[in-house]
Homo-oligomer: A and B are copies of this chain.
Amino acid sequence: MKILITNDDGIQSPALPVLRDVLREFGTVEVVAPEREASASSHAITVHQPLRFFQSTLTDGTKGWAVTGTPADCVVLGMVKLGRPDVVVSGINPGANLGDDVTYSGTVGGAFEAALYGINAIALSVTDASTPEYGEAALVAARIFRSMGDLEHPFFLNVNVPPRSNGEIRITKMGRRLWSSNVHERIDPRNKPYYWISGIPREVGDEESDVVAVKRGYISITPIKLDLTDYSRMERLRALFSQPKDL
C-alpha cells in the first residue's frame, strides 16, 4: 500500500515522524508537508504563483518533502512527483477539527483534495493542542488501516482523538462549532488600525455529534461526503423559480 502523509502545521511538526513510524507497518509512507504552517488554509489551492517541491528534514532527522504551499497543494504535487497513493492521511493536527471547523481546516482540506481524486482520505486530529498525544492518535490511524479491507472505498474520514480517550470509537455526524466573530482592533505604531481574527467556539450538538463524542472521551470518526447539495430544499425552490423569466 502507498501512503501519503500531509498536514497543515508544516514539515517541522513533531507529529509527522510519530505517524509515519506507526503507518510503516501497512506500506510505503511518504511525507509531503507545507514548508511553513498553513493552518486555516481550508481547501485552498495555489494557482496564482509557482510552487517549490524539495527534500527537507523531519524532526527525527529523517527525510520528507516540503512544498511552499497548502496541504491541498502538497497532495497535488505529491501525486505527481511520487505517484498516486492508496491513502492520504492529513495530520496529526494539534487541535480539534470538529463541526464547522471542517470547512476551515487545512488538515481536512488536504484530505478533501485526495477525496476529490477518489483516493481514500483520513483527516486526523487530537483535540488537546496543549499536550497533544500524537502516539495515541497514530494508533487510531493504525486501527483504521487494519480495517482497510472492510471499508467501502473510497472513504473520507474525519477523526478526532480526545486526551485520555476511553479507547472506544463513536461514529458521529458533524455538530456545530459556532465561532463568534471575535475581532481584536489594535493600533499600530503609526496610529493606524489593524485587526486580528480570533474566537472561542460555542459547541452545539446532540449525542450523535462529533463535538459531544470527544467531550465524553470517545474517539470520533465522521464519514464526510463531497456532495454539499441540500436536497431537502430543492422542491420548494423549484416551485418558487419554475416560471421562465419570472421577472
Establish whether residues A181 and B229, one from each chain, have CB atoms under 8 Å apart when the complex forms. no
Chain B CB count within 10 A is highest, among A186, A197, A222, A238, for A197
- Among A45, A112, A237, A240, chain B packs the most CB atoms within 10 A around the CB of A237
| A44, A112, A228, most chain B CB atoms within 10 A | A228
The answer to whether A195 and B51 touch across the interface, beta carbons within 8 angstroms, is yes
Interface size class of A (residues with CB under 8 A): 35 or more
Question: Which residue on chain B has the smallest CB distance to residue A102?
Answer: B228
Contact with B along A211-238 (1 / 0, CB 8 A): 0000000000111111111111110111
Q: B39 to A48, Cβ gap below 8 A?
A: yes
Complex-state Cα separation, A195 to B147, whole angstroms: 36
CB distance from A136 to the nearest CB of B (A): 11
CB distance from A105 to the nearest CB of B (A): 9
Cross-chain contact A197 with B45 (CB below 8 angstroms): yes
Q: A37-B48, A143-B247 are in contact. List 18 more A-B contacts (CB 8 A).
A: A40-B46, A42-B43, A45-B197, A47-B196, A50-B195, A79-B181, A102-B228, A116-B178, A147-B241, A151-B237, A152-B236, A167-B245, A168-B244, A169-B246, A172-B229, A173-B227, A223-B230, A224-B230
**9 A-B pairs in the complex with CB atoms less than 8 angstroms apart:** A40-B48, A51-B194, A52-B194, A76-B181, A76-B183, A103-B116, A151-B237, A173-B227, A223-B234
